[in-house]
Structure 1
Amino acid sequence: MLKDNKVDILEGPQSSAPMATTVINIQTETSVPDHIVWSLFNTIFMNWCCLGFVAFAYSVKSRDRKMVGDLIGAQTYASTAKCLNIWALVLGIILTIGFIVLLVIAYMTAYNIILRVMQNSRGHH
């Protein structure tokens, strides 16, 4: 059985009433920064105490709020993300420098111990 496929050609409206139009106002990009790039950097490189990851989560929430038009909510989440990013960066820099200093001190101590052991072993022979 074959079905007869018909294509109806659409014409203008049949009534004499004026055609209604819909106007959609698209707002330009709002200036609420979500700090998502900074949060991503802190998540990858400065994630001490998971502060970078938490900042990234707040940045995503801020971006979501901005997309639905809730600028106050977006600004609140962005402010929290900024604060967490600052703490993650400062803590990350301090702990990284502290770790490097401790590593250098440990290597220097081990080197001095090895030198003393070698000098003592030469002196006994």
Structure 2
Amino acid sequence: MLREEHEVAVLGAPQTSAPVATTVINIRSETSVPDHVVWSLFNALFMNWCCLGFVAFAYSVKARDRKMVGDIIGAQSYASTAKCLNIWALVLGIFLTIGAVALLVFAYITAYHMLERAKSNRGY
């Protein structure tokens, strides 16, 4: 037994019959609102098709500003919009990048075959 527990056991229950007053303290928990600034910056720099990355970055900065002011509802609204725009920017960026690479490969293969056909027609 710890010393404090021993002292409480020796003293016993309080001898007064007065009601015990309680105090309730509500501690406001900090709601973490992700503002997606890093993701938006990545999309603005690398996946900026149709300027969706830049718009997502603007909404992320607005979400961070609202969070700093203490407007949690506004910060969540802007962060939700930034997340949606980031998803669309990333998906659209990946599809368009893959499409552009496939188009370049197709153009290169077509040009190579045309060059080979022109060489064979000349007799080289």
Q: Which TM-score band applies after superposition, normalised by the shorter structure?
A: 0.7 to 0.9
Residue 78 of structure 2 corresponds to which residue in structure 1? 77
Runs (4+) of structure 1 moved beyond 2 Å? 27-30
Q: Unaligned regions of 5+ residues in structure 1, if any?
A: 1-26
Show the 5 A alignment for 1:56-95: 56-95=57-96
SS at match of 2:123: helix
Q: Report the TM-score, using the length of structure 2 for normalisation.
A: 0.75
Show the 5 A alignment for 1:23-42: 30-42=31-43
- Provide the alpha-carbon RMSD of the alignment: 1.3
Q: Unaligned regions of 5+ residues in structure 2, if any?
A: 1-27
Q: Report the TM-score, using the length of structure 1 for normalisation.
A: 0.75
Larger helix percent: 2
How many residue pairs get matched?
A: 97
Show the 5 A alignment for 1:14-53: 30-53=31-54
Which whole-Å CA distance do the structure 1 matches of 2:66 and 2:106 have between them?
48
What's the % identity of the aligned pairs?
75
**What is the CA distance between 1:117 and its match in structure 2?**
0.1
Q: Deviations over 1:18-53 (max 9, x none)?
A: xxxxxxxxx775310000000000000000000000
